[in-house]
């Protein structure tokens, strides 16, 4: 029997996400800079830094609503991974700050509700589960290392975990007896 820990949903703000990464959107607080070449018609801001030791894949994930339970968490050693929603659909992300240990600090696991107007880029090593869709057909652009795909396909059939040069995906419930859950409000 697992100990069930209910996570309250927090709004995804720049301040709340700071220990985990950076928000990508106008709420980041990054100041736009005009591009002179376009006579003020174009301005750019730099809300997050993306780092990757391998070629970057731009993938499109179609995320459907699923049970608000977090059994697995993963982290990436070789890139910062980013999630950017399309069509303004909301989603939920569950994260824990990077840690030196073999598992996330379970007291630091948080659930964030994104309203669909912004995405996020995680720090290297941020523990997370893949975003949860709130509405059907939620499309999210995922920037990730090409190595991640290889690592995900190297799942251990006994433990159901995946490990590789970039990915460290752990079964939190099997290892700790804890299961995180949240309610979609």
Report the pLDDT value the prediction gives residue 34, as an integer from 0 to 100: 78
Tell me the two tokens of residue 4. 């069930």
- pLDDT tens-digit profile of 42-78? 877 777 778 888 888 999 999 999 999 999 999 999 9
Q: Which of 33, 113, 126 is closest to 79 using CA atoms?
A: 126
Average pLDDT, the chain: 92
Give the mean pLDDT of 82-87. 95
Better pLDDT: 72 or 40? 72
Question: Which tokens is 59 given?
Answer: 């993938």
Annotated domain spans of the chain: 3-181
Task: Please state the rounded mean pLDDT for residues 121-128.
Answer: 96
Report which secondary-structure segment, H or E, holds 87.
none
Q: Do the beta carbons of residue 158 and residue 121 sit within 8 Å?
A: no
Nearest by Cα to 6 from 82, 91, 94, 72: 94
Q: How confident is the model at residue 17 (pLDDT cuts 50, 70, 90)?
A: very high
Q: What is the mean pLDDT of residues 181-185?
A: 87
Cα–Cα distance, 19 to 128 (Å, whole number)? 13
Write down the pLDDT at residue 129.
Answer: 97
Report the b/e string of 83-112 with b at 16+ CB within 10 A.
Answer: bbbeeebbbbbbbbbbeeeeebeeeebbbb
Q: What is the pLDDT of residue 114?
A: 97
Regarding the domain delimited by 3-181, which CATH topology (the fold level of the hierarchy) does it fall under? Jelly Rolls (2.60.120)
120/152: higher pLDDT: 120
pLDDT tens digits, one per residue of 126-179:
999 999 999 999 999 999 998 898 888 888 889 999 999 999 999 999 999 999
| pLDDT interval class at 185 (50, 70, 90) | low
The band of 8, judged by pLDDT with boundaries at 50, 70 and 90, is very high
Do the Cβ atoms of 73 and 144 come closer than 8 Å?
no
């Amino acid at each position: 029997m697992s100990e069930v820990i209910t996570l309250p949903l927090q709004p995804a703000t720049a301040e709340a996400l700071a220990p985990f990464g950076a928000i990508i959107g106008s709420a980041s607080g990054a100041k736009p800079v005009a591009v002179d070449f376009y006579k003020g018609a174009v301005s750019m801001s730099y809300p997050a830094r993306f780092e990757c030791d391998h070629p970057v894949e731009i993938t499109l994930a179609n995320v459907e609503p699923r049970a608000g339970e977090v059994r697995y968490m993963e982290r990436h050693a070789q890139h910062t991974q980013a999630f950017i929603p399309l069509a303004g659909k909301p989603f939920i992300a569950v994260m824990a700050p990077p840690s030196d240990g073999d598992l996330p600090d379970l007291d630091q696991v948080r659930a964030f509700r994104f309203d669909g107007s912004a995405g996020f880029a995680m720090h290297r090593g941020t523990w997370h589960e893949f975003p949860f869709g709130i509405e059907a057909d939620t499309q999210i652009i995922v920037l990730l290392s090409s190595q991640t795909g290889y690592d995900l396909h190297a799942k251990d059939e006994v433990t159901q975990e995946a490990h590789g040069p970039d990915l460290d995906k752990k079964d939190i419930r099997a290892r700790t007896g804890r299961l995180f859950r949240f309610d979609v409000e």
